[in-house]
Amino acid sequence: MDQLRDGPGWVAVAGHAKAARIAASGLLALRHHLAGGASLAAVERGVLRVHQACGAPEDVIGPEQILALPGQVALGQLNPPAAPDTGLNDGQPVGERLAVGRVRGVRLALSLVGRVTNAFRLREELSDRGAVLLGTNDSELVLHLIAQSAQRTLVNRLVDALWRLEGAWTLALLAEERVVIARDPQGFRSTWIGRVEDGWIASTDDCALRATHAESRRELRPGEMVVFDGRGVQSVQPLRPTVAASCAQQVLQLAPAEGRPFGTPAWGVRVALGERLASECPADEADRVVSVPGAEALAYGFAARARLPLVPVWSADRAVAPAVEDGAVALVVPGLATGVEVRAAVLALREAGAARVDVRVGAPATVAGCRVGVPGPSSDEVAGRPTTDLAGWLGSDSVGLLALGSVLAVLGGPAGWCAACLGGKSPFNPDDRGEQLPLFAGASQPG
C-alpha cells in the first residue's frame, strides 16, 4: 500500500424503530474508509442477530439483510480487506470483523477501531487464565477482558476492561437493549454522537450523522464513555484524559473533504495548507496546477496562491491529454509514503504530453508506518524510498514538501496532534509499559 488509508469505522444506533436501516445508511457514508466487507448486528427482545460478509458494503448490507435485523438498537462496522491487502502497519493488524460473544448469559457485539498497543501482553495473561482467543482481533480481546472481570454490571465490567487498554481506539458495544461507546484517553480518533428522530446515533465519523439526517450533538471527550439504554443517555468519564494526541492525518488526508474530524473543517485546513505550500515551495515554472484524486482542496489553495489555473486531468484514472499537453504542470499531492502512486501519476502526465512536472506535497514525507492502527505502508516499505535524488526517482523535474512545522502551524500549533508518521514525536508507547488509568467519580448528561 502506497499511502495511508482510513481503517474500519463503526456506526451505532439506539432507540430507533429502524435501527439497522439507520446504521446501514451511516456505514455507506463512510466510503473514504478502507473496506473489504461489512458487519451489522441488531437486538430485538434480547435476541442478538448478526450479519457479516466480505464484499462491497452496499452489497453486504442490502435491503434483504436489513429486514432480517429488527430491533431498536444496532451496531455496524466496515471491515478491512483480508490481511494480505491491508498493509499491516509494522506487522500489527488494524482490526477484523465485528466481535460477537457471550458474557454471563448475554450475547454481545463489539467494534474496536484502532490498536491496543499492549495487546500481546494482555493476550498472554488471558491465555494463562484459560481464555481461548481465536485470532488477533482487539475487539475479541476486549470481550474476553469483559468476561473475566470480577465486576457485577456490564458497564462496570467494560470499564474494568478499558482500564487495562493502552493505545489509540474508539469502541462501541451492543448488549441487549443497550449501546455503550467510549473513546481512548488521548483522543486519537474522533467519536461523534447525535439525535436521529427519537433515537440516538454515534459514529467514528461525523459524515455518518449527516448521511442519516441526524442532529449532531457533539464529539466525545477523550476518555469518555456514553451509555444509551431504556433509562436514557448517561455520560461518565472512566479514563483520565492525558496529553491530547489527535491524528493529524485525519485532517490532512484521511477524512472526506466535507468532514470535520475533531471539529476541524478538513476542506478549510487543506485549502490553507495548499496556500502555504505555494508560498514555501513555489513551482515558478508551472503554468497550470493539477491534483491527484483526494487532493482537490489542497490543489485549490495552491492554485489560488500561485495564481495559476487549476485544471481537471483525471478521468477513469487516466490523464486527459488536452489539459496537460505541452504544459508545465504543478502536481499537488497530499502525502508521500512509498511514492508508488506519485510515480504513476507523474508517468501518466508525461505520457499525456506534459512538458514539465513539478511535484508539490502538502506534508513532509512519511517516515514510519502508523503504530496505532491507521492502515498504510510499514516502516520497512517507507524506508525503501530513496533519500537522495527524489525527483529523479519519481520522474519529476522537481519535488517540494511542506515542512512539519508549517503543517502544525496551520493545524493550530504542535500541541494536541499525533504526527509520528511524519517525523513528529510519538505520544504512544509501542511496548507493554504503562499504568492503568483511574476512574473519575460522578456522571453527567451529554450536551
For the domain that residue 312 is a member of, what is the CATH number? 3.40.50.2020
Give Cβ neighbours of residue 71 (< 8 Å, ≥ 6 apart). 19, 20, 42, 43, 44, 45, 49
| Cα separations in angstroms, 239 against 323, 437, 442 | 54, 6, 12
Number of domains in the chain: 2
Q: How many helices and strands in the chain, by DSSP H and E?
A: 15, 22
State pLDDT tens for residues 241-279: 888 899 999 999 999 999 999 999 999 999 999 999 999
* The three cell numbers locating residue 293: 484524486
Report H helices in 262-378.
266-280, 296-306, 321-324, 340-351
Residue with cell 461523534: 192
Same domain, 346 and 314: yes
Same domain, 291 and 407: yes
pLDDT in tens, 139-194: 999 999 999 999 999 999 999 999 999 999 999 999 988 999 999 999 999 999 99
pTM beyond 0.85: the answer is: yes
CATH of the domain at 53: 3.60.20.10
Give the integer Cα–Cα distance in Å for 238 and 386: 46
Same structural domain for residues 64 and 204? Answer: yes
Which domain, by its residues, includes 121? 10-242
pLDDT at residue 391 greater than cutoff 70? yes
Largest Cα span, the chain: 72
Tell me: do 266 and 335 sit in the same domain: yes
Phi-psi region at 112: left, alpha or beta (left = phi > 0; alpha = psi -120 to 50): beta
Q: What is the pLDDT of residues 355-372, one digit of tens each?
A: 999 999 999 999 998 888
Considering the domain architecture, whether residues 138 and 187 belong to the same structural domain is answered as yes
For residue 36, the model assigns a pLDDT of 83
Q: Which of 207, 242, 277 is the last residue of a domain?
A: 242
Same domain, 233 and 291: no
Residue 302: pLDDT over 90: yes
